[in-house]
């Protein structure tokens, strides 16, 4: 279909399902074992209800957000996802360019298919980028990458902490892989003795000894703000504060890591009880299952500074850069509608009273 005919985030998934090779779609769409967390991610937003206020002049609305000091035209960004070249020859370059046009931030995966410098160069001068990091067992490699990132003007490092080992993504494992290399990590996406499973094979370089004491080293080598991506409990949010990280990202890796963990939006909700001091102290980002403007508004109402969008951007690459832009516009339009119909005119006005969480939060 023509891009104009796509009017929802879901439409991109349906097109991708038809257009991508079976392997590419399996790698992008898959989640761990029984997909419990993946489905819960999507369902949790459906069970949080909005409480609109009426009779407020909502003709003009604004949604700019500063994310870790970087201006963004909207309170969402692209979550890091591996190997965008499987979707489109321009891969991450198309994502970077689309984000530049739309003034949103691209978080580059440590398993991106293009070299970091090329991705950054594809953006506009001064365009903000984040880099997602998996620490390499050969720490020297990580040091080189962090120094390169700092030299390129990358604005922050998102250290992924929910995947010391890869999740068991069976749809991906059942289909043989090609032979593609990540230009950032050097990981090769190919078969091994156990068969397909791009995620599993590519994760072999990841250092599972990584622990809290290593964070100071990452900060020192990069000199950049550090965000922990994949925090899932109030207890770890407290640790993050103690260890002086700059922000946290609540995430269950799109249900691709440990299955049956709770959705990040539930963790965000819990933080109001388990770690209320986080709010106002540190920015909180969240991802997993966000597909609608209303989903974004709900996460912001519960205290997120911004949300990340993962799979939809990979699906949008069916149309390359234009797809990235079109998807972004759909999300922005839906967020504008959700704000107006909820009775707010600036994204800063989002607050917990806007949502009824009784269906997901019996306490
Ligand atoms: C991911 N994700 C991910 N996360 C990360 O920290 N580093 C990575 O390299 C990847 N790679 C990756 C590949 C693919 C194909 C997917 C779908 C996801 C996880 C990603 O950043 C994000 O947390 C989830 O995708 C968010 O959930 P949704 O929006 O996909 O539901």
This model of the complex carries an ipTM of 1.00
Helix (H, G, I), strand (E, B) or coil at 23: helix
167 lines ligand 1 (CB under 6 A): no
DSSP state of 4: G
Region of residue 343 (left: phi > 0; alpha: psi -120 to 50; beta: else) = left
Q: What average pLDDT is seen over the chain?
A: 97
pTM assigned to the model:
0.98
Pick from 325, 349, 306, 310: nearest CA to 69:
306
Q: Provide the pLDDT confidence category of residue 49 given band limits of 50, 70 and 90.
A: very high
Our answer on whether the CB atom of 82 is closer than 6 Å to any ligand 1 atom is yes
Per-residue model confidence as pLDDT tens digits over 55-101: 999 999 999 999 999 999 999 999 999 999 999 999 999 999 999 99
pLDDT above 90: percentage of residues in the chain: 94
The 10s digit of each residue's pLDDT in 10-21 is 999 999 999 999
What was the pLDDT predicted at 363? Answer: 67
Q: Which helix (H) or strand (E) holds 133?
A: strand 129-133
Ligand 1: residue whose CA is nearest its atom 19: 253
Provide φ and ψ at 142, rounded to 5°.
-65, -40
- Taking CA atoms, 10 is separated from 6, 84, 115, 339, 353, in Å, by 9, 19, 30, 21, 28
Q: Over the stretch 176-219, which tens digit does the pLDDT of each residue have?
A: 888 889 999 999 988 888 888 898 899 999 999 999 999 999 99
- Predicted local confidence at residue 286, as pLDDT: 98
pLDDT band at 258 (very low <50, low <70, confident <90, very high): very high
- The full DSSP string for 284-324 is EEEESS--SHHHHHHHHHTT-SEEEE-HHHHHHGGGHHHHH
User: How far is the centre of ligand 1, averaged over its atoms, from the C-alpha of 346 (Å)?
Assistant: 29
Q: Whose CA is nearest to atom 10 of ligand 1?
A: 81
Judged against a pLDDT cut of 90, whether residue 137 lies above it is answered with: yes
Q: Which of 108-117, 175-184, 266-275, 285-294 has the lowest mean pLDDT?
A: 175-184
**Most ligand 1 atoms within 8 A of CB, residue of 80, 83, 227, 295 to mutate:** 80
For the CA of 110, the nearest atom of ligand 1: 9
Long-range CB contact pairs, 353-357, < 8 A, 24+ = 353/51, 353/301, 354/50, 354/51, 354/52, 354/297, 354/298, 354/301, 355/48, 355/49, 355/50, 355/51, 355/298, 355/301, 355/302, 356/48, 356/49, 356/50, 356/51, 357/48, 357/269, 357/302
Give, using CA atoms, the residue closest to atom 3 of ligand 1.
81
Report whether pLDDT(352) > 80.
yes
Answer whether 172's CB lies under 8 Å from 24's CB: no
pLDDT band at 132 (very low <50, low <70, confident <90, very high): very high
Instruction: For ligand 1, say whether the CB of 111 is within 6 Å of any of its atoms.
Output: yes
pLDDT of residue 138: 98
Residue 30 alpha carbon, nearest atom of ligand 1? 17
């Amino acid at each position: 279909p023509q891009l104009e005919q796509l009017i929802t985030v879901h439409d991109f998934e349906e097109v991708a399902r038809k257009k991508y090779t079976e392997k590419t779609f399996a790698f992008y769409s898959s989640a761990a074992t029984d997909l419990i967390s993946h489905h819960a991610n999507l369902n949790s937003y459906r069970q949080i209800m909005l409480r609109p206020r009426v009779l407020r002049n909502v003709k003009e609305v604004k949604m700019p957000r500063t994310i870790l000091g970087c201006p963004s035209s909207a309170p969402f960004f692209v979550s890091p996802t591996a190997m965008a070249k499987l979707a489109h020859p321009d891969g991450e370059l198309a994502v970077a360019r689309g984000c530049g046009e739309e003034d949103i931030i691209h978080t580059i995966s440590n398993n991106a298919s293009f070299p970091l410098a090329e991705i950054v160069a594809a953006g506009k001068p001064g365009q903000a980028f984040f880099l997602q990091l998996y620490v390499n067992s050969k720490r020297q490699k990580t040091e080189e990458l962090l120094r390169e990132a700092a030299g390129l003007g990358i604005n922050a490092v998102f250290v992924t902490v929910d995947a010391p080992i890869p999740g068991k993504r069976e749809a991906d494992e059942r289909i043989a892989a090609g032979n593609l290399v990540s230009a950032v990590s050097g990981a090769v996406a190919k078969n091994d003795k156990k068969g397909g499973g791009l995620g599993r094979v590519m994760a072999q370089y990841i250092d599972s000894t990584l622990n809290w004491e290593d964070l100071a080293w990452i900060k020192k080598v990069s000199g950049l703000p550090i965000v922990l991506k994949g925090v899932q409990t109030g207890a770890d949010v407290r640790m993050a504060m103690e260890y002086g990280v700059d922000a946290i990202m609540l995430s269950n890796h799109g249900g691709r890591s440990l299955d049956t963990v709770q959705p990040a939006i539930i963790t965000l909700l819990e933080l109001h009880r388990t770690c209320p001091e986080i709010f106002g102290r540190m920015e909180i980002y969240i991802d997993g299952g966000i597909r609608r403007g209303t989903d974004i508004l709900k996460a912001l109402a519960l205290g997120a500074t911004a949300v990340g969008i993962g799979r939809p951007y990979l699906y949008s690459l069916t149309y390359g850069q234009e797809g990235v832009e079109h998807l972004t516009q759909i999300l922005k339009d839906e967020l504008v509608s959700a704000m107006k119909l909820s009775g707010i005119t600036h994204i800063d006005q989002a607050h917990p009273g806007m949502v009824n969480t009784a269906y997901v939060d019996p306490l």
